[in-house]
Structure 1
Amino acid sequence: MPAAIALCVILAVLAVFQLALALGAPLGRFAWGGQHRVLPARLRIGSAVAIVIYAVIAVLALDRAGVIDVVSDVVATVGMWVVFGYFVLGIATNAISRSKPERYTMTPVVTVLAVLSLLIALG
């Protein structure tokens, strides 16, 4: 359960960050390739979608950890392995970002999320 709670806390912080980006905060150098200070409309929509994805991940993690019971055990288990793969892919994409702020900030964050999601997936 501690891994699921830690994962959810980090996702909540990232959701606030994505909300700020979606609302036009000049933090674009930390996300979406770092090419824009203020995100264009299509990337703002992407940030809003990311918030929904984070919520789904949180539900899967909490369900897999036994904190809530929203989906079947199979869905929670398979879902957490998919989430682990998603975060591993995120490590790679952030690590090769042309934006140094994104690379140096988000790569470690996503690495922690990958480790936590692996622990949750393993049960």
Structure 2
Amino acid sequence: MVIGSLVIALTVVAALSVLQVLAASGRPVGQFVWGGAHRVLPRRFRIGSAVSILLYAGFAALLLSRAAVVPGGESTIVRVLTWVLFGYFALGMLLNAISRSRAERFTMAPACAVLAVTTLVIALS
């Protein structure tokens, strides 16, 4: 169950990373991110998208560690950070669900829901 959850979580994180790469490079996908107010993101949001890509890489590394694919998953810091990540995704699900952007509501809220559930499974392992 943990490996299945890990595969799903990493797939969603990879898809979100691609979306953020597109947004950061000025492609017209802004309605899916950052509140959906801009079709093409302004510079400050493009920078935010680039930072998001780095965060997603960290999320992936954390999940890989907690799922015992890479070392360190039993450390206290990895355990705590996995629970923090679960809370982040759960909060993200709620915040994206109330976004003014229909596109963001129907893509990011479900993505965060999947990430919250899969991270919960990994955190409980």
TM-score normalised per structure 1? 0.95
The reply on whether 1:38 has 2:40 as its aligned counterpart is yes
- What is the letter of the counterpart of residue 83 of structure 1? L
Quote the Cα distance in structure 1 between the aligned partners of 2:73 and 2:40. 37
Q: Which residue of structure 2 lines up, in the alignment, with residue 58 of structure 1? A: 60
The reply on whether 1:93 has 2:100 as its aligned counterpart is no
TM-score normalised per structure 2? 0.94
Structure 2: stretches of 5+ with no match in the other structure: none
Q: Secondary structure at the match of 1:66?
A: coil
Quote the Cα distance in structure 2 between the aligned partners of 1:2 and 1:58. 14
Matches within 5 A, 1:1-123: 1-69=3-71, 73-123=75-125
Q: Count residues with an aligned counterpart.
A: 123
> Would the aligned equivalents of 2:73 and 2:79 in 1 still touch at CA under 8 Å?
no
- Deviations 1:19-48 (CA, angstroms, capped at 9, x unpaired): 010000101011100000000001001101
| RMSD of aligned Cα (Å) | 1.2
Structure 1: stretches of 5+ with no match in the other structure: none
Runs of 4+ in 1 over 4 A off after TM superposition: none
Identity of aligned residues (%): 50
> Would the aligned equivalents of 1:29 and 1:35 in 2 still touch at CA under 8 Å?
yes
